[in-house]
Copies of this chain bind each other. A is one copy, B any other.
């Protein structure tokens, strides 16, 4: 792979998570779709926050979590996303820079606040997300730093970017720059409901622009509207250079042309909170990929990072993941 300043530049929604425990009954009463990410407006966020149990705040955002994980493994990364000029925006900026990610998207000076994702963690460790996009809706192509994108081995984009109005323009601009510079474009499908909202555009995008696709089982089945994992696998094969498909406790399946790897999940003593599991998998995988490692090892790195993330509350690593990875390959 040609040299680049960054292993990965990611574009995504810049979000601060608010995590709290909730019972299944609460989800039912509030008509929240369990396991999904649903968009809410400011009054909706206010109302729901008022009903939420005591929480913990931590920087989140799908693609942001991924580059944070990649940087924690020792990779070089940049992030493009929109916060507001407020306390939570400063928290987001601090956390991503503190782990070594280059982040200098201009914060929004007036109007919306920094985006918040209310995450309800049920006793089964499943997370249900309600997102108020706030300042993220102002992200546009003018925020894409062409130099950074061109100087990254991979530009990584989250499917959630299709939700705010102008972020997809930023996405397409970045994809174009990456192609012109001979770089790879990677996409995460984010969420089965997100796929449902943007299916046709996602299919088109994957065929035309995406080299490395990340999706979990529900997302890839939703993309091709099939009920069976293997059917989805046959469909995605050949549609992009590499597809990395995650299946929770069943591990992951990675396909590149005729090459296929079925890699077991790492053992986890206790699954506490699955928030960020997919983001972490992509982080480990892309770290391996940009370090020139084989796909099997990329998948294992993804699994190691995901296992760390789901064994505690929150979507960013708490342990020394470099050590974890080194131990796994010792």
Chain A residues near B (Cβ < 8 Å): 18, 20-21, 49-50, 52-59, 68, 86-88, 91, 94-96, 98-99, 113-114, 312-314, 316, 318
Known pairs A313-B318, A318-B313; A55 contacts B94 (CB<8 A): yes
The residue in chain B whose Cβ has the minimal distance to the Cβ of A89 is B87
Contact yes or no, B57 A91, CB < 8 A: yes
Contact yes or no, A113 B87, CB < 8 A: yes
Contact yes or no, B54 A56, CB < 8 A: no
Contact yes or no, B94 A50, CB < 8 A: yes
Contact yes or no, A94 B49, CB < 8 A: yes
**SS of A interface (majority):** mixed
The residue in chain B whose Cβ has the minimal distance to the Cβ of A50 is B94
Cross-chain pairs A/B with CB under 8 angstroms, 6 sampled: A21-B318, A55-B94, A56-B314, A86-B87, A87-B114, A313-B318
Residues of B within 8 A of A87 (CB): 86-88, 113-114
Contact yes or no, A98 B56, CB < 8 A: no
Residues of B within 8 A of A18 (CB): 91
Known pairs A86-B87, A318-B313; A57 contacts B58 (CB<8 A): yes
Residues of B within 8 A of A98 (CB): 20, 52-55
Number of copies: 2
Smallest CB separation, A314 vs chain B (Å): 6
Smallest CB separation, A49 vs chain B (Å): 6
Smallest CB separation, A124 vs chain B (Å): 15
Q: How far is the CA of A55 from the CA of B56 in the complex (A)?
A: 11
Contact yes or no, B57 A57, CB < 8 A: yes
Q: Which of B56, B88, B99 contacts A58 (CB 8 A)?
A: B56
Residues of B within 8 A of A50 (CB): 94
The residue in chain B whose Cβ has the minimal distance to the Cβ of A98 is B54
Smallest CB separation, A311 vs chain B (Å): 12
The residue in chain B whose Cβ has the minimal distance to the Cβ of A84 is B87
Smallest CB separation, A303 vs chain B (Å): 22
The residue in chain B whose Cβ has the minimal distance to the Cβ of A114 is B87
Contact yes or no, B95 A54, CB < 8 A: yes
